[in-house]
Amino acid sequence: MTKTVLISGASIAGPALAYWLRRHGFRPTVVERAPAPREGGYKIDVRGAAMTVCERMGIRASIEAVDTKVRGVTFVTEGNKPIASMDADFMYGRGTGDAELWRGDLSRILVQACDDQVEWIYGDSVTALTQTPEGVQAVFERAAPRTFDLVVGADGLHSTTRALAFGPEPDYLRHLGRYISIFTTGHHMDLDRWELFHNGVGGTASIYRTSPREAAKGLLMFGAGELNLGRDVQAQHQALRTAFAGIGWQVPNLLADLATAPDFYFDAVAQIEMPGWSTGRIVLLGDAGYCASPASGQGTSLALVGAYVLAGELARHAEHTAAFAAYERIMRPYVSANQQLGVHGAKGMITDTAWQRRLRGLSFRMMKFTPRGARNRIAAKMHEQIQHAAHAIELPDYPISTRV
């Protein structure tokens, strides 16, 4: 009998898993709280092993067609005078074949890659999960209860599935002392595939735009302990105003845009650390089980690779317990490498003191006087850690089921 699988979450991990489960002969149902597929979002990277997964899905050309092709980054003073500029690939440690695209574009590509046998339920969410000898009974906010053979939580950092099956979020969340906000802004600074950054004390601001036809995005990052703001948007706005009070450049304009931004995003830079990703017939995927944080730049890649491995191991093993164990054994070293990258990246997101700010500004100004050979060695060292994490897994080959 074909196994039924409920997947909670339809951003990246969920649709990717649905694609591979169908290829292996399963019957996936994807439930998503949002009323429709999410558009837009922010820039994300697909690197290393994740791009290999995309090649095996046959979507690499589609990804490359919507690559942002952002060319570079400039760090500026409060008066918008350039301090230093660098190539975007240098800045973000991208290797040959890596891609950058909008989250909404990748989600759309993944959904379109799925066949019509994937069931999509939008505007609903799981409210209870009960494991029985026959499977997992899922209770929904709106739809009637149903029983599935397996349930996968692919619902992000604040996973409802994880809370229902494993317990409260604070038991697993590791706060990295940073917060991040991204939103659409009308202050585009005439940018064309370019990013501007301004470092203040305790906060970093950025504006980027991928083309003159696209709306610009504002990005604000600041350092703080746990604020416990939940989903209170007004409190999040106030936290940003407080953190960036006194920081100049375009920050006042960005703060003025908060109230009207149609896509305001705010969250802690945090990781999820769990001793195990499964319990009975329920398993976690992507940020829900092993978020590496935006500071790693690898959340999307972890989701894509995790979906490929989880589906492949479920197809390879007759028993889900053996499949879940193999999935975790294969993925753990890869997750660990990328979470370490996230911890390191979070430290560099902000200049917490005036001294750190002056030191960073000096290092940027000195770049133009650094010989090319030395700059290349610095770049190689920076890229080594990122590319090591991006390739820190040997992808298994999984035969595709003839049942599809």
What digits encode the pLDDT tens for the residues 348-387? 889 888 888 888 777 777 766 666 555 556 666 667 888 8
The 10s digit of each residue's pLDDT in 213-226 is 889 999 999 999 99
> Quick one: residue 48, left, alpha or beta (phi over 0 = left, psi -120 to 50 = alpha)?
left
Q: What are phi and psi of 31, to 5 degrees?
A: -110, 135
What element of type H or E holds 190?
none
- Rounded-to-integer distance, Cα 52 and Cα 137, Å: 35
Give the other-Cβ count within 10 Å of 271's Cβ.
Answer: 24
Check pLDDT > 90 for residue 89.
no
- Looking at 3.40.50.300, 3.40.50.720, 3.50.50.60, 3.90.76.10, the CATH number of the domain 4-173+270-349+385-390 comes to 3.50.50.60
Kindly indicate the confidence band of residue 97, based on its pLDDT and cuts at 50, 70 and 90: confident
Please report, as a single letter, which amino acid is at residue 92. Y
Element (H, E) at 242: helix 233-243
Identify the helix (H) or strand (E) that includes residue 329.
Answer: helix 320-347
pLDDT at residue number 230: 87
Q: Indicate yes or no: pTM above 0.75.
A: yes
- Residue 205: name the closest of 80, 88, 115 by CA: 80
CATH architecture of 174-267+351-367: 2-Layer Sandwich (3.30)
Query: Where in the chain are the domains?
Result: 4-173+270-349+385-390, 174-267+351-367
Spatial separation of the C-alpha atoms in residues 184 and 198, rounded to whole Å: 18
Please give the residue that has the higher pLDDT: either 389 or 357: 389
